[in-house]
């Protein structure tokens, strides 16, 4: 089975390809000749995943899935949420985003947060949604060099290391994206 993953984010593609069984071939947007940036104009994480999956289905007519992920911080009423990638501006710089978040949490004792991933699958004219959530804490400084995004400042519940200190395999077993992808795989295996 071939499925388009509606992303040009090489880190995400690599992470998902490592999780998906070999019987499913993942194609990137680049692989299908989609060079435009798919608009992410929804106000929710679910909405953006659906927008991206529908874009590929409508423009290219291919079975596909898309994801959107956000970091939701309790003390900031769920921010950055749907705006996680561009929290510090349209340049979408991970260090700028983390720096802004750390400044906004300075002096706050409630540092609870969760990562949420929603995958929208468009397969044979039906749409399915799969959600993965991992709860944790935002620490006060960046630690670790693996991963991407907010990984250096996020520690999952019951763990002592940041996501950026974990190997890709370790992170995949506990992460929001790993949970959502596992639900996707379980669904695809039933077909």
Query: Which residues does the annotation mark as catalytic?
Result: 68
Instruction: Calculate ∠ Cα 114-180-56, nearest 5°.
Output: 115
Q: Residue 139 has which token pair?
A: 């620490």
Name residues whose C-beta falls within 8 Å of residue 18's C-beta, 6 or more positions apart in sequence: 168, 169, 172
Q: What are the C-alpha distances in Å from 33 to residues 52, 126, 127, 142?
A: 15, 24, 23, 36
> Pairing mode, if any, of strands 80-81 and 64-73?
antiparallel
Residues in the chain: 191
| Calpha distance 169→29 (Å, rounded) | 24
């Amino acid at each position: 089975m071939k499925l388009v993953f509606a992303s040009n984010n090489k880190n995400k593609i690599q992470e998902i390809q490592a999780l998906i069984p070999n019987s499913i071939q993942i194609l990137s947007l680049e692989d299908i000749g989609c060079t435009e940036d798919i608009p992410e104009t929804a106000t929710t994480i679910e909405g953006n995943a659906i927008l991206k999956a529908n874009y590929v289905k409508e423009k290219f007519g291919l079975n596909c899935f898309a994801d959107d992920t956000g970091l939701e911080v309790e003390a900031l009423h769920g921010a950055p949420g749907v705006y996680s990638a561009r929290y510090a501006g349209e340049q979408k710089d991970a260090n700028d985003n983390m720096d802004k978040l750390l400044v906004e949490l300075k002096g706050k004792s409630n540092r609870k947060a969760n990562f949420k991933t929603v995958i929208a699958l468009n397969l044979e004219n039906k749409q399915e949604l799969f959600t993965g959530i991992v709860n944790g804490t935002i620490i006060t400084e960046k630690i670790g060099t693996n991963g991407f995004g907010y990984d250096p400042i996020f520690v999952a519940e019951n763990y002592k290391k940041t996501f950026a200190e974990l190997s890709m395999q370790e992170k995949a077993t506990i992460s929001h994206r790993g949970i959502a992808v596992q639900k996707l795989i379980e669904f695809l295996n039933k077909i």
